[in-house]
A and B are shown apart, each in its own frame.
Chain A
Amino acid sequence: DAGITQSPRHKVTETGTPVTLRCHQTENHRYMYWYRQDPGHGLRLIHYSYGVKDTDKGEVSDGYSVSRSKTEDFLLTLESATSSQTSVYFCAISQGEGSGNTIYFGEGSWLTVV
């Protein structure tokens, strides 16, 4: 258990509304990630963070923003949710500096946009 908590775990929202997913970790890891998982696409990186206020885009970042004001929290925001953002969202942490170290995932957040 890497001490990762995602919230909410399940959410249904309407098209056009903003949504924020929270990832909270208790072990002071510097690197944190947001992935989305869709059938036929596996896991794709949305954004990642390598420190407080240090973030960078992944391969599917359009329509998403992130913030990291504290080491323990990494927030993913959908500014105006669309049906194409219906997905399972996973937060992850790296035990060391970057992906060259063991990666652990949170339990996932199921988001449905109707």
Chain B
Amino acid sequence: GIQVEQSPPDLILQEGANSTLRCNFSDSVNNLQWFHQNPWGQLINLFYIPSGTKQNGRLSATTVATERYSLLYISSSQTTDSGVYFCAVDTGRRALTFGSGTRLQVQP
């Protein structure tokens, strides 16, 4: 099956810093989604981004499907950005395959 690798596995930032999270996938995908899991366990869909770039406030994402990677940018990080960020890909098999996540800790 498809392999989805996220990097870095862990990241510690000071409040106000910027960061880039990466998601590499081993095969062609139909779409890619980014999720944030907050410290209480809730999973929030951030982006549905099969290709191109999208922005939502301080967050933006870029997927380059031909090169099999996606990037999630977090600017001016806040403590509420802490948690785990997952990317997940769809290969046309009806369900998403998830990466193992990047754990982000933003310190005040």
Q: Which residues does A use to contact B, with CB under 8 Å?
A: 31, 33, 35, 40-45, 48, 50, 56, 58-59, 88, 90, 98-105, 107-108
Decide if B86 touches A103 in the complex (CB within 8 Å). no
Name B33's closest neighbour in chain A (CB-CB). A103
CA distance A33 to B45 in the complex (A): 15
How many inter-chain residue pairs (CB < 8 Å) link A and B?
Answer: 57
CA distance A90 to B90 in the complex (A): 18
CA distance A112 to B30 in the complex (A): 36
CA distance A58 to B98 in the complex (A): 13
Name A97's closest neighbour in chain B (CB-CB). B94
Interface size counted on chain B using CB atoms at 8 A:
23
Interface string of B92-107 (1 = CB under 8 A from A): 1111111111000000
Decide if B30 touches A105 in the complex (CB within 8 Å). no
Decide if A107 touches B42 in the complex (CB within 8 Å). yes
Chain A residues with Cβ below 8 Å from B101 are 42
**4 A-B pairs with the lowest CB-CB distances in the bound complex, closest first:** A105-B43, A99-B90, A43-B98, A42-B100
CB within 8 Å of A: which B34-69 residues: 35, 41-43, 45, 48
Question: Which of B31, B41, B86, B95 has the most C-beta atoms of chain A within 10 angstroms of its own C-beta?
Answer: B95
CA distance A108 to B35 in the complex (A): 15
A50's partner among B35, B94, B98 (CB-CB below 8 A) is: B94
Query: What are 13 A-to-B residue pairs whose CB atoms are below 8 Å?
Result: A31-B94, A35-B98, A41-B100, A42-B86, A42-B99, A43-B86, A43-B98, A45-B95, A45-B96, A48-B94, A99-B93, A100-B30, A102-B48
B94's partner among A59, A98, A102 (CB-CB below 8 A) is: A98
- Asked if A108 meets B41 with Cβ closer than 8 Å, knowing A42-B101, A103-B33, A103-B88, the reply is yes
Name A105's closest neighbour in chain B (CB-CB). B43
Given A42-B101, A56-B94, A99-B94: 14 more A-B contacts, CB < 8 Å: A42-B98, A42-B100, A43-B88, A45-B95, A45-B97, A90-B43, A98-B95, A99-B93, A100-B30, A100-B90, A102-B48, A103-B88, A104-B45, A105-B42
